[in-house]
Structure 1
Amino acid sequence: MEKLMPYMAKFAFGLSMIMFVVGGVLALVALYNHF
């Protein structure tokens, strides 16, 4: 399990970054469609 910790940390960080990017894109699309 300890060997997997760095991998899990990278995976969690990557997933959070992807979610952040997806959220930003969805927000931009929502704003674009609103106007």
Structure 2
Amino acid sequence: MEELKVQLDTSDKIYLTLCSAILISILFIATIKKV
């Protein structure tokens, strides 16, 4: 059970990191297009 929990925590962190990267990329591109 503990190992499974660790795997879930790790996947959640990866998922959050990917979402953050995508949001930053969208904001970055939007800023460039405005300028």
Question: TM-score, with normalisation over the residues of structure 2?
Answer: 0.86
Alpha-carbon distance between aligned partners in 2 of 1:29 and 1:4, rounded to the nearest angstrom: 38
Number of residues of Structure 1 aligned to a counterpart in Structure 2: 33
Identical aligned pairs, as a percentage? 0
Give the RMSD, CA atoms, in angstroms.
0.8
> What amino acid sits opposite 1:28 in the alignment?
I
Question: TM-score, with normalisation over the residues of structure 1?
Answer: 0.86
Alpha-carbon distance between aligned partners in 1 of 2:20 and 2:28, rounded to the nearest angstrom: 12
Deviations 1:1-35 (A, max 9, x none): xx421000000001100000000000000000001
- For 1:18, the equivalent position in structure 2 comes to 16
